Amino acid sequence: MKTRIGILTGGGDCPGLNTVLDSLVKSLASDYEIVGFYKGFEGLYNNSYTILDANFTNQFKFLGGTILKTVNKGHFSAKTGDGLTNEIDQEIINQAKQNYLKLNLEALIVLGGDGSLSAAFQLQQNGLNIIGVPKSIDNDVMGTDTTFGFLTAVQIAVEALDRLETTARSHERVMVLEVMGRNSGWIGLHSGIAGGANIILIPEIVFDYKKILEVIQKRYKNGKTNTLIVVSEGATSMDENKSYSNSGGQSSENLLGGIGEKITRFLNQNGLDARSTRLGHIQRGGSPLSMDRLLSIQMGVYAAKLVEEKIYGQLVCYNSGQMGYKPLVDCISKLKLVDPNGELVLQAKKIGISFGN
């Protein structure tokens, strides 16, 4: 009988999940049986699973989303927002562990972001062998330079900026693009620079509405009659809190959204012609770009390597062009945020991009 390995996808969907699944299954197929749990940890809790084989996963290897389905709520919500950790009820942990043992699993591989990896660590503390693979369009997982899904999300935002810029130039308008980024501004920063934004607003740098107005008015005086603004959903001004579009609902966290509209209203009230666009879940959907496909394949293969070598309690990481691993506990203690004084921010300022401060 082959050794059994469990795998699940937790948290928000993300381009590259199916690619990781496929590469891992192909890497382990000869010596292991892969148990795929449906809807993340809920599948482990409810004993809802399927046996994955390479003939099946190969059909979906570059499809967006996840063939195993996923949830970012339920019994295993390990994050309450803003990086705070929530202790999972011990009875829930015990039930998951019981199913893990009944299925005779050697290890559980978790594809997830900060919340899912924090839940995985709590399972690890209760005796499960865990290997984490960092998934996040926000690129906010500590320990790795890049998470799969991030590059695709950035490209989608850049394409949106390219289109908005033509409208902004034609109508001499201010176009505001709101992108995802609850606590980290990596999508906003990278897409803003690559997409030619004039103003980038991110959670790590508190902005001033008056400063935004001053920048745009100065551009007009210099003959630049259109402006592109990228704002992360979690960006805040010096005199207000984050903008929530929904409190509670089906998510364990308050849903962010609306800061782009707020900025647009302010600009219109001050005599400018401004329009706003919120990308929302468009950033999560669709197939991964080539670089995300490559990264996902590498991470799947490397996770398989850790299984074969029985190296558990680790997170697969990609740093300086090389695959490796770091202790899971070290990668969930805090989020990886943009450094307001970091090189990329300073480079952006050097070419005239304002951060509204």
Q: pLDDT per residue over 279-289, tens digit each?
A: 999 999 999 99
Confidence at residue 78, expressed as pLDDT on a 0 to 100 scale: 64
Token pair in block for residue 283: 């950033």
- 330 tagged catalytic: no
- Domain co-membership, 9 together with 144: yes
How many C-beta atoms lie closer than 10 Å to residue 101's C-beta? 11
- Domain co-membership, 114 together with 168: no
Residue 13 lies in a domain: yes
- Domain co-membership, 10 together with 125: yes
Token pair in block for residue 317: 């990481």
Confidence at residue 86, expressed as pLDDT on a 0 to 100 scale: 81
How many C-beta atoms lie closer than 10 Å to residue 64's C-beta? 19
| pLDDT band with cut points at 50, 70 and 90 for residue 254 | low
Q: Mutual orientation of helices 186-194 and 150-171 as an angle, nearest 10°?
A: 50
Interior angle at CA 312, CA 311 and CA 314, nearest 5: 100
- Domain co-membership, 134 together with 235: no
Number of folded domains in the chain? 2
**Domain ranges, residue 174:** 152-284
Residue 279 lies in a domain: yes
| pLDDT band with cut points at 50, 70 and 90 for residue 83 | low
Assess whether pLDDT exceeds 50 at residue 249: no
| pLDDT band with cut points at 50, 70 and 90 for residue 1 | confident
Residue among 319, 4, 346, 284 nearest 146 (CA): 319
- Domain co-membership, 40 together with 130: yes
Assess whether pLDDT exceeds 90 at residue 120: yes
Each residue's pLDDT tens digit, 17-59: 999 999 999 999 999 999 999 999 999 999 999 999 999 999 9
d(CA 133, CA 112): 6
Token pair in block for residue 7: 């795998």
Confidence at residue 81, expressed as pLDDT on a 0 to 100 scale: 52
95-104 contacts at long range (C-beta below 8 A, 24 or more positions apart): 95/45, 96/41, 96/44, 96/45, 96/123, 96/128, 97/123, 97/126, 97/127, 97/128, 99/44, 99/45, 99/47, 100/6, 100/44, 100/128, 102/47, 103/4, 103/6, 103/35, 103/47, 103/49, 104/4
Confidence at residue 265, expressed as pLDDT on a 0 to 100 scale: 97
Q: Is the pTM of this model over 0.85?
A: yes
- CATH number of the structural domain spanning residue 31: 3.40.50.450
User: What percentage of residues in the chain have a pLDDT greater than 90?
Assistant: 89
- Domain co-membership, 254 together with 298: no
d(CA 330, CA 114): 12
Distance (Å) of CA 175 to CA 138, 153, 161, 187, 252: 22, 19, 9, 17, 32
- CATH number of the structural domain spanning residue 224: 3.40.50.460
Assess whether pLDDT exceeds 60 at residue 252: no
- Domain co-membership, 81 together with 208: no
Distance (Å) of CA 45 to CA 216, 220, 276: 53, 58, 42
| Residue 299, helix vs strand vs coil | helix
Determine if residue 127 is left, alpha or beta; phi over 0 gives left, psi from -120 to 50 gives alpha, anything else beta: left
Assess whether pLDDT exceeds 60 at residue 115: yes
Residue 316 lies in a domain: yes
Mean pLDDT value of segment 103-110: 98
Each residue's pLDDT tens digit, 128-160: 999 999 999 999 999 999 999 999 999 999 999
- Domain co-membership, 9 together with 71: yes
Catalytic residue among 138, 140, 208, 273: 138
Each residue's pLDDT tens digit, 203-226: 999 999 999 999 999 999 999 999
- Domain co-membership, 185 together with 317: no
- Domain co-membership, 145 together with 8: yes
